[in-house]
Structures are given as structure tokens and as C-alpha cells.
């Protein structure tokens, strides 16, 4: 990637090129997956709203595409982003060039449809939970925290019944705050409710409650039975019941979207950004530095 030709103005032009092909307004949300602050979090909704007020949405009336590459994050913020995007448009679509996992999958579920490349993926909707540790913030799926806690409880009980030393398990349990486990459980319940509510209202409007619940169950059990990060590509997402369209490979739209994504991904990684949001008229770069508080 040519560093000189990968600056903000080039990204603005690349966004406009995608819009010219789709005839729809576009906002790009690009995360640095390895950055501790790269997850979907509270300020994101406000930044998207700020960008939406900065562009002339009448150029492509009643339309909005949100192109996301994100590891996920807060289901609460995901719902806010859905509501904000929908407040600016009649037709809301999610575009996934590479990965929209966890809460990003929730946002996609709040759209009318999802446009994916052949190699793109969505994922289980178990939210990513960020905890502060002495070594810095760490993010894990909510189910991972809950499963670890229950596993330790079970092992301690088995040790007690078998009259074996249970102190190692008790010591590890002391390091896990029970209230944090409750927070994780409630986050999972919230993710499920958001998926049910918005799929029923928009993408799967007209489907029965049981049909919508089956779709959501697919995206919950995928993470519970296998892996939180397991890929759900376009064909599987369709089979699970979502309204998904695949971009034809080597088409003009495929080239425009993959080029835009590659440029934005390279931009965040080489500059160490947590996130980068961009539209045809400008962008927002999110820099976060870890500060030691004594």
C-alpha cells in the first residue's frame, strides 16, 4: 500500500466511489482488532451521529449503508448505533467487507439487509466484555467469563466431595468478582433481546416470533458450542435466516469496497489507531493511550 496515497482525502474519494455504485450514503467504521480500545463502546454512537450531520444525505435520499470491520463490544452501544442510523434514513443496510463479530453482528441484525463479500464473516452474538486488570484492559466473550466461573465452582465442589484439596480453586474464585459474572450474564440476555426485537421489527418483519427466535438461537449456540470467533460466512448466515446478499467477486462494487476496506485497515494499523470512521467529506481518528494511575 502506497503510504503517500493512503491519506484521508483518498479515503473520502474511495467512499464516494462506493456511493456512486450503490447510489446510497455510506459511513465506514474500521477497528484495529489488536487494539485494546478497538471494540464497540459508548462514544461510537455519538461519532457516527456527528458524521451523519456533516454530510449531505439528500444526495442519496432515504438511504444509509454502514460498512463495519469490528471485533464487537457493547450490546448497549450496538443498539444505540442501530437507532441513530435508522433515525437518519428509511433504508438501512450493513456492509461487511471482512469481519463484523459479536456486537457488530447485532448492528447488522438491526439493518434491513446485509451485503457481504465472499470472504467476509459475521459471528456469534455473545458480547465482548472488557475488564481492567493490573496489566491493562482485556476483552473476552461474556460466555468465556461465565464458563470459567462455573467451571471453577464445579471443580471446587468435586474436590470437596472427593475429599481432595479445594483451596487452589477457591483462591482462583476469589479473583473473579461474582457481580462481574452477573454483568456478563445480563449482557448476554441483552444481546439476545436486541437481536429478537430488531430482527422482528425490520429484517425479518412478517416472520413469526418462533421463526425469529430460531434465527437468534443459531447465533447464540454457534458461540456456545464451538468458538466465539468462529466464522459465519454469507451462505451460512443465509441458512441461519438472515437477509444476506453476496457481492459478486471481481465486480466494480467488489473492487471498490475491498479497496476502501484495505486502505482503512492499513491506515489504522500503521498509525496505531483504535478506530477510524470516515465519510465522503471527512473522518474521525480515535487515538487511545494507556495511562498508568498510581
Domain ranges in the chain are 8-129+199-286, 130-181
pLDDT of residue 293: 41
Q: What is the pTM of this model?
A: 0.83
Q: Is the Cβ–Cβ distance between 219 and 240 less than 8 Å?
A: yes
- Rounded Cα distance between 172 and 178, Å, is 12
The C-alpha cell that represents 200 in the structure block: 422482528
Q: Is the Cβ–Cβ distance between 63 and 91 less than 8 Å?
A: yes
pLDDT of residue 183: 84
Torsion angle in degrees (nearest 10) through CA of 101, 38, 11, 232: -10
pLDDT of residue 225: 46
- Rounded Cα distance between 141 and 230, Å, is 12
Q: What is the pLDDT along the chain (294 residues), one digit of tens a residue?
A: 455 567 778 999 999 999 999 999 999 999 999 898 899 998 999 999 999 999 999 999 999 999 999 999 889 999 999 999 999 999 999 999 999 998 999 999 999 999 999 999 999 887 777 676 666 666 677 777 777 777 888 888 888 888 888 888 888 877 777 888 888 888 888 999 999 999 999 999 999 999 999 999 999 876 444 454 567 999 999 999 999 999 999 899 999 999 999 999 999 999 999 999 999 999 999 987 544 443
Instruction: Work out whether strand 26-31 and strand 63-69 pair parallel, antiparallel, or are unpaired.
Output: parallel
pLDDT of residue 224: 44
> Residue 240: what are its φ and ψ, rounded to 5°?
-75, -10
- Rounded Cα distance between 29 and 107, Å, is 12
The Cα angle at residue 113 between residues 282 and 15, in degrees rounded to 5:
20
Strand, helix or coil for residue 11: helix
Whose CA is closest to 122, among 231, 223, 228? 231
What DSSP line would sit under 39-81, residue for residue? Answer: SB-THHHHHHHHHHHHS-GGGSTTEEEEEEEB--B-HHHHHHH
pLDDT of residue 171: 83
Instruction: Work out whether strand 26-31 and strand 275-279 pair parallel, antiparallel, or are unpaired.
Output: antiparallel
pLDDT of residue 175: 77
- Interhelix angle 178-198/209-225, nearest 10 degrees: 140
How is domain 8-129+199-286 classified at the CATH fold level?
2-enoyl-CoA Hydratase; Chain A, domain 1 (3.90.226)
The C-alpha cell that represents 253 in the structure block: 462494487
Amino acid at each position: 500500500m502506497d503510504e503517500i496515497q493512503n491519506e484521508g482525502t483518498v479515503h473520502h474519494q474511495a467512499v464516494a466511489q462506493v456511493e456512486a455504485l450503490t447510489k446510497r450514503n455510506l459511513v465506514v467504521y474500521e477497528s484495529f482488532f489488536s487494539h485494546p480500545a478497538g471494540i464497540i463502546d459508548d462514544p461510537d454512537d455519538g461519532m457516527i451521529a456527528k458524521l451523519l450531520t456533516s454530510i449531505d444525505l439528500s444526495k442519496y435520499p432515504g438511504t444509509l449503508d454502514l460498512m463495519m470491520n469490528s471485533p464487537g463490544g457493547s450490546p448497549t452501544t450496538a443498539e444505540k448505533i442501530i437507532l441513530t442510523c435508522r433515525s437518519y434514513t428509511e433504508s438501512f443496510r450493513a456492509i461487511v467487507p471482512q469481519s463484523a463479530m459479536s456486537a457488530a453482528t447485532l448492528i447488522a441484525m438491526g439493518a434491513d439487509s446485509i451485503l457481504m463479500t465472499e470472504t467476509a464473516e459475521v459471528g456469534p452474538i455473545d458480547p465482548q466484555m472488557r475488564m481492567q486488570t493490573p496489566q491493562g484492559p482485556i476483552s473476552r466473550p461474556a460466555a468465556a467469563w461465565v464458563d470459567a466461573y462455573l467451571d471453577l465452582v464445579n471443580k471446587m465442589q468435586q474436590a470437596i466431595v472427593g475429599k481432595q484439596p479445594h483451596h487452589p480453586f477457591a483462591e482462583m474464585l476469589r479473583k473473579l468478582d461474582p457481580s462481574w459474572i452477573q454483568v456478563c450474564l445480563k449482557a448476554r440476555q441483552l444481546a439476545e433481546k436486541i437481536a429478537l426485537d430488531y430482527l422482528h421489527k425490520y429484517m425479518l418483519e412478517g416472520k413469526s416470533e418462533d421463526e425469529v427466535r430460531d434465527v437468534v438461537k443459531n447465533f447464540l449456540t454457534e458461540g456456545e458450542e464451538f468458538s466465539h470467533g468462529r466464522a459465519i460466512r454469507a451462505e451460512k448466515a443465509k441458512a441461519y435466516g438472515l437477509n444476506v446478499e453476496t457481492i459478486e467477486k471481481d465486480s466494480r462494487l467488489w473492487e471498490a469496497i475491498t479497496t476502501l476496506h484495505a486502505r482503512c485497515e492499513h491506515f489504522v494499523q500503521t498509525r496505531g489507531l483504535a478506530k477510524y470512521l470516515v465519510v465522503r467529506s471527512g473522518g474521525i481518528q480515535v487515538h487511545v493511550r494507556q495511562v498508568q494511575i498510581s
